[in-house]
Amino acid sequence: MKRATAWWFLAEEVCGRITTPKVDVAAVDREIQVLIRESWLCSRAESFASKVEAAWQESWCRRCLRSLTSR
């Protein structure tokens, strides 16, 4: 009985793999990247990063470090 059951499960697996369409992994990855880039969280993170960068460009600490490293 176990052998018949094993063959049945094997046949189901083979038929399932034959009839299942192939997945284009690269296309799915691109779609996920677009979804993430367009998400609310990503836009908030980009906004935060740009504010931090702008603050760093204008910071007193940056000016001091540049003057020390330029000597």
Place of tokens 């760093």: 56
Q: Is the pLDDT of residue 51 over 90?
A: yes
Place of tokens 């189901």: 12
Over residues 5-49, the pLDDT tens digits come to 888 999 999 998 888 888 899 999 999 999 998 999 989 999 999
Distances (CA, A) of 20 to 12, 14, 16: 12, 10, 6
- Ranges of each domain in the chain: 23-71
Q: Is the pLDDT of residue 52 over 80?
A: yes
